[in-house]
Structure 1
Amino acid sequence: MKKWAFYFVSLWLMFSVLLSGCNFTGEAPQGAESPSGQTSSKDGEQPSSGKAITLPVETEITDLNQFSASDNVAFAILNNVNEGLYRLDQKNVPQPAMAKGVDISKDGLTYTFTLRDGVKWSNGSPVTAADFKFAWLGSMKPETSLSGYAFILTDYIEGGAEYAEGKATDVSGIMVKDDKTLAVKLKNPTPFFLRLVSFIPYYPLNDKFVKEKGKDFALKPENMLYNGPFVLTQFDPAGGAVLEKNPNYWDNGSVKLDKVNIKVVKEMSTALNLYKVGELDRVNLSSADVSANKTNPEFGTDIEFATTYLQFNLKAGDVSNPNIRKALQLAYDSKVLEQLLNNGSKGAVGLIPDLMNGAGGKSFRDMQGKVIAPDAAKAKELWAQGMKELGHAPKIKLLVLDDTVNKDVGTFLQSEFKKNLGAEIEIESMPKKARNKLMDDSSYQMAVTAWGADYDDAMTYLDLWINHTPYRGNYNNPKYDRLIAEAKKEADEAKRAEMLLQAEKMLVGEDAVVAPLFYKGHAFLQKKNIEGLVYHPYGASWDFKYAAKK
């Protein structure tokens, strides 16, 4: 998620925590009252510690409207001020949250959720099953769903696609039985559905409140309602945000912090200086600073199910030529980029990152192996053939975000393309909002972007390119679309996995729609008195619920 997602959204966003013993594929137990194992406090009860932490993000906070937000900074905030039926725990396993549990039919198609007693919005009104239906319908409806995430509901819930296409006035697969009971019927068995309902587009919204605020909804803290561990009390898109403990949260007693300050700091060197003088509690390290800090007891690394890649615009000038795209794919060495980043990131050999689930207990990457590998000689041949077909030397701009990591990646690619192809590539650096608009408007040739997994399955990547949008390079291959559609219906795990393996080969190897660069890792410094910052490798990454400052 994460245009995180979708977008490199500069996934080099923020604070990170060393993951140990993470269970990426465990199934959710059905019934524990509190994921933290602690007894919830009475409504309104507050700790006396007055603890606060301050953390940086590298990009501005552009949108906090659940219907239109699509990047990881927004998702990190929304994941902490709101909550779905289930919530990922410290080991990335979905646990009952707004729901106290779920009954799943024997055929795996119907999920019946029962909400907890006394769950409330921050204004004291109850959270009801109808709040979930209202939000889910809004996430599907074209008039309100502006995030690009409608598919994450319509692809799975019975009647969702028909509703989104205007062929139905309601969604047959969403049934509000009463205020506390919500039943959901799926099109096909979906073993990761509890992970989906733990993700932002499945969170509830209060119908009355959203309609009262109208176009002003989510533009400032008082124009939002909250049902998560924290509430938003301050918000400046370019400056940052302040989150404070929510006294109406059902698991209030598990929340150790009173406040989380989030500051927008675009330059990693600036953030490191602020960390050194005690103004930040956590900071990501640039590659230049990793070696000098590896022996620091505050040093750590983490992983993310996220791939940074070059997105080619198949309708934009010279990169519309397949041989030019394939030449660019082979003209850089991702292992060299891995060394330059020096932060736990790994050079990419395909679109799907390491460790993501495949089939039969194997990871997708282990099943597939390499889809592309550097080959300067072959790249020169393809480049020459592309120039012959075009009738001139390509003129190409590379669009990147204006943060440290993205600019470094752009400079690396510019150098590699010059060395191995003789190509003169111009770098165009933009703030996130401006970069995204250019991509949405198809006003780019190629861009460094990224996607972070919404759930632990290769489909979270591969179905992005069936929407044929400019942001996804205007890719439109009916054969690819059919392959993805068939995989979504396939109940046999091995057959489904084979379809997804074929899809990655087609997207990357045959059609050269993207050029994978690296699988994201982080190196960071974190103050020793900060504990329990939870980082999820997929979905909405950050969870402050379990964090504490000693």
Structure 2
Amino acid sequence: MRRVVIASAAALLCVGAAAGCSKNTGDKPIDKTKHTVQTSAVDTNPAHSAGPAKPVPGAVRGGTLYALQEQDFEHLDPQNVYISDAESVSELMSRSLTTFREGSSGKLTLIGDLATNPGVDVHHDCRTWRFTLKSGLKYEDGSTITAADVAYGVARSFAPDINHGPHYIQQWLAGSVNYNAKYKGPYNGGAKLPPGVTVQGDRQLTFQFPKPACDLPFAAAWGTTAPVPAARDHKPLALDTHPFSSGPYKIAKYTRGTELDLVRNKYWDPRTDPLRHDYPDKIVTRIGATADQQTHRVLTSHGDDAATVSRSAVPAELVPVVQRDGTARDRTLAGFTPYVEYLNINTERVTSLAERQAIEYAFNRRGYLQVAGGSAAGEPATTIESPLTAGYHRYDAYPAGPSGNVEKAKKLLGGKHPKLVYAFTNTEEGQKKATVVQDALQKAGFRVVLRPVDKSSYYATVAKRDAGFDIFVTAWGSDWPSGYTIIPQLFDGRAMDVNGSWTWLNEKDVNDQIAKLSNEDANAAAAGWAKLDEHIMRAYAPVVPIDYKKSLTLVGDKVGGVFLSGFVGAPVYYDAYVKA
């Protein structure tokens, strides 16, 4: 999953893969959403990066906000966070150098978070960037957040054990996609400062890049730049269960697989924070309820469920119920998200292009989406890039119709019956989707073996080279609205050994074009990324684009301020409050 802007702080399209996402007010059918390209811009006015955040109209202080989700978080370590459910929680605990403010009109503005502004391009060549931290920044124990802590956070993101977050800054500092070939972070004797980063006093740090890195302010909005004091970092994976808070909330209790309880960080100073509030006394995530259970509970809104956010999408069979319920319609969070969902094909295992093309033709998008929730869950996709991406070009390399073309797939297989091992998330919805995928491919002649994987470790599992899976579904959203944050992250074969891969595609013509476009002006390269998108699909068929994902979730009738974020692509809590 993940998510979305571009060089030299120019206004662009959707950030964090942002889409036209907003709270449904009941004025129109919740499944009648449309693609609304968002804009993003950099705001260099220091006053707009200062706190406190503008008050939320009607918000009151106090109470407990609850959230329900089916599976646990994969990571809460800020340098490892890259999946939307964890992002929503992580941004309450882990601040970064920059962040995005979202407006009701769909505009996302990059501002300073820990930093006084979105960064200074010292020599106006995108090679040297300087950030100055605000004064008054504190951790959950009252100690001061320093520039050295931010630099250390970047340093630890080089560690091979901390490789699930974004890799932009590491690659730019190293001047290579293989960013940790030499420097592997501060563990095992490595330096506490990464190459290219220097610290000047307690509040200033400078990034020096071998090549222009004009997108740095946008990349700095990710957890890569979250501060971590070296004294608190005892071993690489310890922060997954208790990140050291720099935000308005800290962990009071975390029982893996059961519950995460957040309480206020009394040392957080709202005067330093332009984005977040701390209205609820507690924010509690309860883990284990299925999507069906979540929907029923929040729909009825009894007791604690009245102050609850459902994190799972409304199941297909309950979408009509929600659509007919007048009170529920006013409590839906509905719209397009930044993500495109793909059926990934491991090209090292499924080496035949004809077999991969047969999968393209056989796939049943209509059946898959019906299980997911119909038009409320997504719109059939045929491209790698989302329509929200700068330069997006619509095409269909394998026109099979919404239900697939079994006869075309059979012809490509030529009477063969290849075996495919399909990994799927072991949830109620994942099981239903697996049946649809298996049925469609077996009608074409494939023999499909199903392998369930726990959702809490799904992405980490399927990315392993030796996992033994031929096909599996993932979703990806741009980190800012540029093909640069999509195509290289998914298909750069030069970075497979560092980044992992879902398709293990490693083709010289693709790699060369990625290298060329990565060094071009972002606006000029937009059309090139879209052209490469189509080339990859026609020449290599490494994924089946399934759908441009929408979200339809519910909140209880006592929940205020929660909205579907265009940057995160999921409900977020920093404006949340519990109605009296």
Question: Are the counterparts in 1 of residues 362 and 409 from structure 2 also a CA contact under 8 Å?
Answer: no
Q: Deviations over 1:384-428 (max 9, x none)?
A: 44346xxx4112232110123333322222233344x14443332
Q: Are 2:407 and 1:380 aligned?
A: yes
Q: Deviations over 1:420-469 (max 9, x none)?
A: x1444333222135644354133111111222332222222211222335
Percent of aligned positions with the same letter in both sequences? 16
Question: Are the counterparts in 1 of residues 427 and 455 from structure 2 also a CA contact under 8 Å?
Answer: no
Residues 406 and 372 from structure 1, CA distance in 2 versus in 1: closer, same or farther, beyond 3 angstroms?
farther
Match of 1:481 among 481, 502, 511: 511
Q: Are 2:74 and 1:62 aligned?
A: yes
Match of 1:531 among 535, 560, 565: 560
| Rounded Cα–Cα distance in structure 2 between residues aligned with 1:306 and 1:348 | 11
Question: Which residue is 1:44 aligned to?
Answer: none
TM-fit CA distance, 1:304 = 1.1
Q: Are 2:396 and 1:395 aligned?
A: no
Q: Deviations over 1:344-366 (max 9, x none)?
A: 411111111221223xxxxx1xx
Residues 237 and 138 from structure 1, CA distance in 2 versus in 1: closer, same or farther, beyond 3 angstroms?
same
Question: Are the counterparts in 1 of residues 333 and 564 from structure 2 also a CA contact under 8 Å?
Answer: no
Question: Which residue is 2:351 aligned to?
Answer: 320
Which residues in structure 2 correspond to 1:484-523 (within 5 Å)?
Answer: 484-491=514-521, 493-494=523-524, 496-523=525-552
| Rounded Cα–Cα distance in structure 2 between residues aligned with 1:377 and 1:546 | 43
Q: Are 2:24 and 1:24 aligned?
A: no
Question: Which residue is 1:410 aligned to?
Answer: 434
Question: Are the counterparts in 2 of residues 454 and 539 from structure 1 also a CA contact under 8 Å?
Answer: no
User: What amino acid maps onto 1:18 in structure 2?
Assistant: K
Question: Which residue is 2:208 aligned to?
Answer: 185
Question: Which residue is 2:187 aligned to?
Answer: none
| Rounded Cα–Cα distance in structure 1 between residues aligned with 2:206 and 2:84 | 29
Question: Which residue is 1:83 aligned to?
Answer: 95
TM-fit CA distance, 1:164 = 2.0
User: What amino acid maps onto 2:171 in structure 1?
Assistant: D
| Rounded Cα–Cα distance in structure 2 between residues aligned with 1:384 and 1:67 | 47
What TM-score, normalized by structure 2, do the two folds share?
0.80
Question: Are the counterparts in 2 of residues 25 and 456 from structure 1 also a CA contact under 8 Å?
Answer: no
Residues 65 and 167 from structure 1, CA distance in 2 versus in 1: closer, same or farther, beyond 3 angstroms?
closer
Question: Are the counterparts in 2 of residues 90 and 534 from structure 1 also a CA contact under 8 Å?
Answer: no
TM-fit CA distance, 1:173 = 3.2
| Rounded Cα–Cα distance in structure 2 between residues aligned with 1:126 and 1:536 | 30
User: What amino acid maps onto 2:114 in structure 1?
Assistant: M
Residues 35 and 292 from structure 1, CA distance in 2 versus in 1: closer, same or farther, beyond 3 angstroms?
farther
Question: Are the counterparts in 1 of residues 395 and 534 from structure 2 also a CA contact under 8 Å?
Answer: no
User: What amino acid maps onto 1:214 in structure 2?
Assistant: K
User: What amino acid maps onto 2:222 in structure 1?
Assistant: F
| Rounded Cα–Cα distance in structure 1 between residues aligned with 2:24 and 2:98 | 21
Question: Which residue is 1:444 aligned to?
Answer: 469
| Rounded Cα–Cα distance in structure 2 between residues aligned with 1:104 and 1:444 | 45
TM-fit CA distance, 1:307 = 1.4
Question: Which residue is 1:456 aligned to?
Answer: 481
> Aligned with 2:23: secondary structure?
coil
User: What amino acid maps onto 2:282 in structure 1?
Assistant: K
> Aligned with 1:357: secondary structure?
coil
Q: Are 2:304 and 1:292 aligned?
A: no
Question: Are the counterparts in 1 of residues 173 and 208 from structure 2 also a CA contact under 8 Å?
Answer: yes
Question: Are the counterparts in 1 of residues 487 and 533 from structure 2 also a CA contact under 8 Å?
Answer: yes
> Aligned with 1:305: secondary structure?
strand
Which residues in structure 2 correspond to 1:102-501 (within 5 Å)?
Answer: 102-105=119-122, 106-142=124-160, 144-147=161-164, 149=166, 151-157=167-173, 159=175, 164-166=180-182, 171-186=194-209, 188-190=211-213, 192-210=215-233, 213-214=234-235, 217-218=238-239, 220-221=241-242, 224-251=243-270, 254-275=277-298, 276=300, 277-280=302-305, 281-283=308-310, 284-295=313-324, 296=326, 297-316=330-349, 319-335=350-366, 337-340=368-371, 341-342=373-374, 343-358=376-391, 364=392, 367-374=393-400, 380-387=407-414, 392-419=416-443, 421-433=444-456, 435=458, 436-437=460-461, 439-440=463-464, 441-464=466-489, 465-466=491-492, 467-468=495-496, 471-491=501-521, 493-494=523-524, 496-501=525-530
Residues 549 and 29 from structure 1, CA distance in 2 versus in 1: closer, same or farther, beyond 3 angstroms?
same
Residues 110 and 158 from structure 1, CA distance in 2 versus in 1: closer, same or farther, beyond 3 angstroms?
farther
User: What amino acid maps onto 1:232 in structure 2?
Assistant: I
User: What amino acid maps onto 1:202 in structure 2?
Assistant: T
User: What amino acid maps onto 1:480 in structure 2?
Assistant: V
User: What amino acid maps onto 1:327 in structure 2?
Assistant: A
TM-fit CA distance, 1:483 = 1.0
Q: Are 2:126 and 1:97 aligned?
A: no
Residues 387 and 394 from structure 1, CA distance in 2 versus in 1: closer, same or farther, beyond 3 angstroms?
farther
User: What amino acid maps onto 2:407 in structure 1?
Assistant: K
> Aligned with 1:100: secondary structure?
coil
Residues 456 and 386 from structure 1, CA distance in 2 versus in 1: closer, same or farther, beyond 3 angstroms?
same
Residues 35 and 416 from structure 1, CA distance in 2 versus in 1: closer, same or farther, beyond 3 angstroms?
farther
| Rounded Cα–Cα distance in structure 1 between residues aligned with 2:543 and 2:179 | 32
TM-fit CA distance, 1:198 = 1.1
How many residue pairs align between the two structures? 514
User: What amino acid maps onto 1:374 in structure 2?
Assistant: A
What TM-score, normalized by structure 1, do the two folds share?
0.84
| Rounded Cα–Cα distance in structure 2 between residues aligned with 1:204 and 1:51 | 29
> Aligned with 2:544: secondary structure?
strand
> Aligned with 1:153: secondary structure?
helix
| Rounded Cα–Cα distance in structure 1 between residues aligned with 2:54 and 2:38 | 27
Q: Deviations over 1:503-535 (max 9, x none)?
A: 212332210111111121111222243222243
User: What amino acid maps onto 1:121 in structure 2?
Assistant: Y
Query: Cα RMSD (Å) of the superposition?
Result: 3.2
> Aligned with 1:285: secondary structure?
coil
Which 10-residue stretch deviates more, 287-296 or 437-446? 437-446
> Aligned with 2:512: secondary structure?
helix
TM-fit CA distance, 1:548 = 1.5
Residues 348 and 522 from structure 1, CA distance in 2 versus in 1: closer, same or farther, beyond 3 angstroms?
same
Question: Are the counterparts in 2 of residues 159 and 172 from structure 1 also a CA contact under 8 Å?
Answer: no
- Flag structure 1 segments of 5+ consecutive residues without an equivalent: 6-15, 42-46, 359-363
| Rounded Cα–Cα distance in structure 2 between residues aligned with 1:531 and 1:36 | 24
| Rounded Cα–Cα distance in structure 1 between residues aligned with 2:481 and 2:102 | 15
Residues 23 and 62 from structure 1, CA distance in 2 versus in 1: closer, same or farther, beyond 3 angstroms?
same
| Rounded Cα–Cα distance in structure 1 between residues aligned with 2:179 and 2:514 | 21
